[in-house]
Amino acid sequence: MAGVKIYVAETNNLQPLLQICRTGSFRLPVWGYLSVSIQPLPSVVIGDTVTLKCNFQTDGNLREIVWFRVVEGGSAKQKIFTYDAMYNSTYSHMEHNHRREDLVYQSTVRLPEVQMEDDGLYECHVGIYDKSSTDKVILASGSITLTVIVPPKSISVVAANSPAPFSRYEAHNFTLVCIVTGAKPAPMVYFKRDGELIDVVPTAQLSSVEDQSKGRGLEKSFDRSQAGLWSSRALTSRDLDDTKLQKSLLEQEGKLARLGQDGPDGLEKGREHGSKSDSEPTTEVIPETVVSREFPRWVQSSDPLYYFQQRQQAARDGTMEVRAMLTWSLNPQLDNEALFSCEVNHPALSMPMQAEVTLAAPRGPKLSMSPSKATVGDTVRITVQGFQLGSSASEVFPEPIFTWTKVGGPLLDGREEHNGRELIMERVPAELNGSMFRCTAQNPLGSTDTHTRLIVFDNPRLRKRHFIDV
Question: DSSP per residue over 244-304, as a string?
Answer: HHHHHHHHHHHHHHHHHTTHHHHHHHHHHHHHHHHHS-S-----TT-EEEE--S----SPP
Contacts of 178 (CB under 8 A, 6+ apart): 155, 156, 157, 189, 191, 322, 323, 324, 325, 326, 342, 355
Asked whether the whole model's pTM tops 0.75, one would answer no
What CA–CA distance (Å, rounded) separates 169 from 296?
6
**Are 198 and 192 within 8 A, CB to CB?**
yes
pLDDT of residue 1: 40
What CA–CA distance (Å, rounded) separates 156 from 393?
16
pLDDT of residue 446: 86
pLDDT of residue 163: 84
Phi/psi region, residue 445 (left: phi>0; alpha: psi -120 to 50; beta: rest), is: alpha
Instruction: Determine whether 105 is exposed, middle or buried from the number of CB atoms within 10 Å of its CB (0-12, 13-18, 19+).
Output: middle
Give the pLDDT of the chain (470 residues) as one tens digit per residue.
Answer: 444 444 444 333 333 333 333 344 444 444 568 899 999 999 999 999 999 999 998 887 888 999 999 998 778 999 998 888 877 644 333 333 334 445 678 899 999 999 999 999 999 999 988 777 667 888 999 999 999 999 999 999 999 988 877 776 677 789 999 999 999 999 999 999 999 999 999 876 433 333 443 333 333 333 333 333 444 433 333 333 333 333 333 344 444 334 344 444 444 444 444 444 444 444 556 666 667 777 666 555 567 899 999 999 999 989 999 999 999 998 888 898 899 999 999 999 999 999 999 999 898 888 999 998 999 999 999 999 988 876 667 789 999 999 999 999 999 999 999 999 999 999 999 999 999 999 999 998 888 889 999 999 998 877 554 444 44
pLDDT of residue 282: 46
pLDDT of residue 302: 62
What CA–CA distance (Å, rounded) separates 183 from 116?
11
Residue 375's alpha-carbon distances to 145, 253, 379, 410, 457, in angstroms, are 75, 47, 9, 21, 4
Amino acid symbol at 173 = N
**Are 310 and 324 within 8 A, CB to CB?**
yes
Phi/psi region, residue 85 (left: phi>0; alpha: psi -120 to 50; beta: rest), is: alpha
pLDDT of residue 168: 66
What single-letter DSSP state applies at residue 400? P
42 prior amide bond cis, ω within 30: no
